[in-house]
Amino acid sequence: MPTLTLNPSSASVSPCDGLVRRNGVDQTLGNIRSGAGTASAVSDVTNQLLLTASTTSNQFADNTRLIFNFDTSSLPAGAVISSAVISFFITAQTAGLGITGFAFVVVDASPTSTGNLSSGDYTNVGSNLYAFLNQPDTTTGAYNDFVLNTAGKNHINPTGITSFGVVSGWDYNNSFNGAWSSGLTSSYTVDMADNGSNLPKLVITYTVGSASLSPSASLSPSGSASKSLSPSASLSPSASASMSISPSASVSQSLSPSASVSPSASISPSASLSPSASPSPIINYLSVDLVEFCFFTGFTSKYLNQENLFQNLYTPQTTNYPVNKYIIQTTTFSQNKYIPQATSFSTNTYVPKNTDFTDKYNGC
């Protein structure tokens, strides 16, 4: 992924870096934090992030904050930031007030001008936490990397200047848990843009846009699939199943796909899928309730189930039909069920179709 490396400008040129402070006071930590700034600087080679104790127990004389501006307008349009790391070259540290809680904390900032700083910008350093390192985790004489969290990445302005502030952990938390000692200081010394080397830097890793398929992917214009069953068969988009037993008795039932069975049986029509197609299943057997028909070319074998009961499927007939037709009973049947036949059939009974039938279906 592409990266963009940015540095502040030296002196009073946007985007500058520098220091703002409140000093020359004798106040509690809360008061020195919230008071107005008293000084600023933008042309120093190094600056210190520090807190100095006054001569009054548990009070302080000097608190500094740092501001760093970066011109992030060179990010391409539509850039999506995947990571952002701001790095500072720390040249020295002191621990006159101890190190417990004396972290190096990166926050937001909104200076009045990005080309110069004023004492009033002391209160323009924010409190939104973007990254931090505790004092034991910092390294002297090297770059220390601060990986920005999601809020920090979202703070980056892709069309202008992005400003960051740096405060101590005591300042950020409004709580001093170090070892107070009159007149002593805990500090970090940081190389600034005017140093000419080891400049503060912001490295942004990003992507532009996203991959997509264009305009669309489809199977077209149409895909069709048909599979013939004897004498003819194919799949259809219509979802109904109809089974008829000639000449006039019939029953229909809503299933899928469409099917009809008669002395010459067919399953129809054909199926097409558009714009995208999927293969049609091969139908070997069609089962409707408990009636099974096994299809072979020419339909030379037909089977009659003499044991299973069928309810309300067929209309009783009143006449005899020639060979190879089923004869429906005219006598009273219980619940319109087929009556299993014995070896002898009389008028108005089912007539076997040139085939000796047993009382069960035989395998197809």
> For 141-167, how does the pLDDT look when each residue is reduced to its tens digit (9 = 90+)?
999 999 999 999 999 999 999 999 999
Q: Which of 176, 175, 201 is nearest to 190 (CA)?
A: 201
pTM value? Answer: 0.60
Given a contact cutoff of 8 angstroms between Cβ atoms, the answer to whether 282 and 266 are in contact is no
Of 2, 327, 7, nearest to 193 (Cα)?
7
Residue of 206, 196, 208, 200 whose CA lies nearest to 70: 200
Report which residue type is found at 318.
T
Both tokens of residue 203? 């490295």
CA gap 318, 301 in Å, rounded: 26
What Å distances lie between residue 337 and 91, 205, 316, 329, CA to CA? 101, 79, 10, 10
Residue that is written with structure tokens 């091969």 in the block: 282
Looking only at the bridges linking them, the beta strands covering 142-147 and 266-267 are: unpaired
Strand partners, 251: 243
pLDDT < 50 stretches in the chain:
211-364
pLDDT value of position 277: 38
Cα separations in angstroms, 172 against 50, 72, 256: 12, 26, 71
